[in-house]
Amino acid sequence: PSTRIVVHPSYVVGEIDRRIFGSFVEHLGRAVYTGIYEPGHETADEQGFRQDVADLTNELGTTVVRYPGGNFVSNYFWEDGVGPREERPTRIDLAWRTLEPNTVGTDEFLAWTKKTGTEPVMAVNLGTRGADAAANLVEYCNIPGGTTWSEKRRANGADEPYAIKTWCLGNEMDGPWQIGHKTADEYGTIASQALQAMRRVDPTIEFVVCGSSSRDMVTFGEWERIVLEHTFDDADYLSMHAYYEEHDGDRVSFLASAAAFEAFMHEVIATADAVAARKHSTKRLKLSVDEWNVWYLSRFAGEENLELLEQPRLIEDVYSVLDAVVAGDLLATLVRNADRVAIACLAQLVNVIAPIMTEPGGEAWKQTTFYPIALTAEHARGVTLDARIEAPTLTTGKYGDVDGVASTITWDAETGSLVAILSNRTDAASETTIDASAFSGLTLVDAQTIIADHAGPRKTREDAEAATPKALDGVSVDGGIVSLTLPAESWSLVRFT
């Protein structure tokens, strides 16, 4: 089975928004406590943040970080997490049934984003609260001073406003599991009210409205339509969440996850554009795919009657090399749709379905999924090109026929770097040519690959290092025609100049 790809620098999908390489830190399990924050750890800084985790966050190429949830945000009282620590209450987090000490709150998280050079994407509680609490939080964060909440921030040690640009209006409000779950009409109304109030506080901020928490929701499609009828003119981004796992040993469908992910994205975009048409609007909403990943959600089922603990080990999925191949394909799909995807957050960053794991008091290490994500964030720059592909067909039980090979080609005119991210979802090697003859004097810089195996999750750091990308041998370039062989069930990144 062979694959043929054609690219030309004039045919561009869109500029890659660096926010596509975002991540997510929720008050969930050990994401915050013993994740990003662990005073007393040998690498902790004077604020209690683990330097080893901050370093890995940088190495991962993380740009924006969504916070504080997730399901957690839907009953979060942000005021609990600011001010003198000894006065902060311990609460029951109803989302994950965990004791929340509020030791880390808004100011601490924003100090961590400063430390890591990341940009916050802040979510507000529209489950159990509304416009009032949301507008006050914008005032606390973004107003320089001279008002009740901005002066409280200054008194709490942050003299300068944080100038948070992007705000998520609630989280997964379509989900019956969500505290304060709402119908699309109810959510559209409260989201619109909160948005208006928040914008009065700071007219420069941007808003993400909640789309569906998965394509499997019975309300999918109708939810987006109704929510956008309420918010279309004011919203900047529409969210979607997508998680994939291997069900019942159906490896073939699992390998095709990114094809399903792309189809889902196109459906959400079509729905947003249909609302635009009804409104006679030329506005084209962009997506905030603010939760995506491989997540063995089915393993979590049954863990719902949780004992009330502080920083429990929750949803600490351990990934295989196959998971890394699929995660790499998912991220490449986000980059391929650069014209409509503005923000994307890998869910999550540390310990909870995460590329970075920690041991309390011990080391931090990279899971298998770390490698394709870090490589893509580092090298996929500039614009995505509108590459045309003829690929072998992969027949799946779950998604029907999909492309067996997927390609994402990026071009950075400033540095002259052409990058091909290639996923072979089939169980046979694919002889592949890329016609890049429109790029003069093309030469190979580097070719790396991750090849799936049949071993299970990689439980230790040493074990996970098996997914370290290896050199992809046999890549040749002749007059701009690239020839290479993509190994079966692999993810590869090939760079040219």
Which residues are known to be catalytic? 172, 291
Q: Applying CB under 6 A, does 212 fall inside the site for ligand AHR?
A: no
Q: Which is nearer to ligand AHR, 26 or 107 (CB)?
A: 26
Q: Applying CB under 6 A, does 321 fall inside the site for ligand AHR?
A: no
Q: Applying CB under 6 A, does 75 fall inside the site for ligand AHR?
A: no
* Window of 64-72, 154-162, 279-287, 463-471 that interacts with ligand AHR by CB under 6 A: 64-72
Q: How far is the CB of 359 from ligand AHR (least distance, A)?
A: 21
Contact 49, 115 (CB under 8 A): yes
- Segment 282 to 311, residues that bind ligand AHR, using CB under 6 A: 291
CA distance 495 to 493: 7
Q: Which is nearer to ligand AHR, 171 or 410 (CB)?
A: 171
Q: Can you give the chain as a three-state secondary structure string?
A: CEEEEECCCCCEEEECCHHHHEEECCCCCCCCECCCECCCCCCECCCCEEHHHHHHHHHHCCCEEEECCCHHHHHCCHHHHCCCHHHCCCEEECCCCEEECCCCCHHHHHHHHHHHCCEEEEEECCCCCCHHHHHHHHHHHHCCCCCHHHHHHHHCCCCCCCCCCEEEECCCCCCCCCCCCCCHHHHHHHHHHHHHHHHHHCCCCEEEECCCCCCCCCCCCHHHHHHHHHHCCCCCEEEEEEEECCCCCCHHHHHCHHHHHHHHHHHHHHHHHHHHHHCCCCCCCEEEEEEEEECCHHHHCCCCCCCCEECCCCCCCCCCHHHHHHHHHHHHHHHHCCCCEEEEEECCCECCCCCEEECCCCCEEECCCHHHHHHHHHHCCCEEECCEEECCEEEECCCEEEECEEEEEEEECCCCEEEEEEEECCCCCEEEEEECCCCCCCCEEEEEEEECCCCCCCCCHHHHHHHCCEECCCCEEECCEEEEEECCCEEEEEEEC
Q: Applying CB under 6 A, does 69 fall inside the site for ligand AHR?
A: yes
* Window of 65-73, 187-195, 244-252, 355-363 that interacts with ligand AHR by CB under 6 A: 65-73
Q: Which is nearer to ligand AHR, 96 or 496 (CB)?
A: 96
Q: Applying CB under 6 A, does 369 fall inside the site for ligand AHR?
A: no
Q: How far is the CB of 267 from ligand AHR (least distance, A)?
A: 19
* Window of 63-71, 195-203, 397-405, 417-425 that interacts with ligand AHR by CB under 6 A: 63-71
From 70, 188, 328, 469, residue interacting with ligand AHR (rule: CB under 6 A):
70
Q: How far is the CB of 60 from ligand AHR (least distance, A)?
A: 17
Q: Applying CB under 6 A, does 71 fall inside the site for ligand AHR?
A: yes
Q: Which is nearer to ligand AHR, 239 or 430 (CB)?
A: 239
Q: How far is the CB of 211 from ligand AHR (least distance, A)?
A: 12
Q: How far is the CB of 309 from ligand AHR (least distance, A)?
A: 17
> Which residue is closest to ligand AHR by CB?
70
Under rule CB under 6 A, how many of the chain's residues touch ligand AHR?
Answer: 10
- Segment 342 to 361, residues that bind ligand AHR, using CB under 6 A: 347-348
- Segment 249 to 288, residues that bind ligand AHR, using CB under 6 A: none
Q: Which is nearer to ligand AHR, 38 or 291 (CB)?
A: 291
* Window of 69-77, 159-167, 416-424, 477-485 that interacts with ligand AHR by CB under 6 A: 69-77
Q: Which is nearer to ligand AHR, 116 or 213 (CB)?
A: 213
Measured from the Cβ of residue 281, the count of other Cβ atoms closer than 10 Å reads: 13
Rounded (10°) angle between helices 51-60 and 370-379: 60
Q: Which is nearer to ligand AHR, 67 or 162 (CB)?
A: 67
Q: Applying CB under 6 A, does 23 fall inside the site for ligand AHR?
A: no
Q: Write the binding mask 155 to 174 for ligand AHR: x where contact by CB under 6 A, - elsewhere.
A: ----------------xx--
Q: Which is nearer to ligand AHR, 236 or 291 (CB)?
A: 291
Positions that interact with ligand AHR (CB under 6 A): 26, 69-71, 171-172, 213, 291, 347-348
